[in-house]
Amino acid sequence: MTQRNSALNDRHKALGSKLDGDTWCDMAVPWSYATDPDDEVVAVRTRAGLIDMSAINLIRVAGPDAAAVLDSFVAIEVPKLKPGTARLAVEADEKGAVIDDIMIIRDGRDRFRITHGSGATPQQLADAAEGKDVDIQVDRDTHILSLQGPAALSILDPHTPLDLEALEYFHHAETELFGTPVVIARAGYCGEHGYEIYAAAADAVHLWDAILDRGRGRGVMAVSWTALDILRVEAGLLFFPFDMPEGDTTPWEIGLGWAIDGDKRARHVGKRGIRSACGKERVKQAGIACRTGRAVEPGARICRDGEEVGIVTSAVFSRYLMQSLALVHLKPDHAALGTKLTVADGAGEVDAWWCRSPSTIPCACARDNGAPETAIGMQRLGAAPPLEMRAGMVANPKEVRTSMNALRHGGHGIDRSFA
């Protein structure tokens, strides 16, 4: 496929990114800036950070049959989606295995946008549209700027006529921002209050500069994709296909049952397979906290009492939380809150604990007094992680902070023979 380029490339280079050929969906992205990724993470968690998400694939689908075409290959009821809203949908093959990560965005009665990963969506869409009254356009112009963090609302709100505070999650609206036509969506990939701004390529630099200019005095930073990887693992958000191997993972195994309308009557690709796979999960998606000062390696084996019971799919070291975190696949009968595990990779063995999400401190999970269950929540209240979780951790690890290096250089493959 033809190489795509962000209109913000000069800005990324000025911030220290090499844009050295590593691509996502055929677009070079800023894996790093001159700033420390850990500082960028702190900016998002405590103030705000700006991310260029323009590499995400975007397709426009319009026409009288648009809703029916989309409805024919996803597990949600697309016709029920209201204009101005969006929803994550499961896209599966006939076996019921996930084959792409897709968000369906409804702009009007017969107008949709879909964003998707690197999987089968284009072919699925082309097959479904054959003989239908629908127009499909791959959008290579629209850029997506994502401002995430607790200060995002106060930074953007004075510069748009839209009432951002009233905009609900997964809702969007056409408006202006800094005098420029945009679509603003309440969404993000960091587990923070934030907004995604859809704009023409010709306006991307103006918006990028304006947002950073307004936020600079408040500590707002540009955020690299290495920092984004840390943020999304902290929040327990999956990355296709690394946390859900294409064609080999059912939605039930990765906690995406909520992205399936079980009572959907209309036929769709994968319907029978999805239903058949329910209750037959080989693995369960989980998060673990590891007792080490580094990121464990993706593909690392997970054992319990000498038995291999799982595998690491993504891993980071979060300096903000002072924890080594990982997304993992575990045998279902070993995925219980607080279960002690051992992770074995090329650097050795480390102790780990199953937690509700990667940002959950296991020994704080059983609280019934209204206290926050996540490490992020505890950090904001000024509480430190328990000593038993901090033991052996270093304050500023410089080696293997994130698994993104392994992901971007060919991935690591998920050997789930243990299941």
DSSP 2: P
Kindly state the tokens that stand for 264. Answer: 């959907």
- Edge to edge, what strands does the sheet with 111-116 contain? 85-92, 98-108, 111-116, 57-62, 135-138
- State the sign of the Cα–Cα–Cα–Cα dihedral 400, 402, 408, 412: positive
Confirm whether residue 297 is marked as ligand binding: no
Residue 327: strand, helix, or coil = strand
Instruction: Please state whether the peptide bond connecting residue 241 to the residue before it is cis, i.e. omega within 30 degrees of 0.
Output: yes
The residue with tokens 């769709």 is: 268
- The CA-based angle 337-228-401, given to 5 degrees, is 70
| Contact present, 58 and 139 (Cβ < 8 Å) | yes
Give residue 26's region: left, alpha or beta (phi > 0; psi -120 to 50). Answer: left
Q: What is the DSSP string of 351-419?
A: EEEEESSTTB-GGGTT--SS---BHHHHHHTTPPPPHHHHTT--SS--S--BTHHHHHTT------TT-
| Contact present, 167 and 182 (Cβ < 8 Å) | no
Q: What is the DSSP string of 132-169?
A: SS-EEEE-SS-EEEEEESTTHHHHHGGG-SS-GGGPPT
| Contact present, 66 and 169 (Cβ < 8 Å) | no
Residue 210: strand, helix, or coil = helix
Kindly state the tokens that stand for 124. Answer: 């699925």
- The CA-based angle 315-353-36, given to 5 degrees, is 35
Q: Judging by DSSP bridges, how do beta strands 49-52 and 221-222 pair with one another?
A: parallel
- State the sign of the Cα–Cα–Cα–Cα dihedral 391, 395, 396, 398: negative
- Among 88, 413, 100, 407, smallest CA distance to 246 is for 100
Residue 50: strand, helix, or coil = strand
The annotated binding site for substrate is made up of 196
The annotated binding site is made up of 196
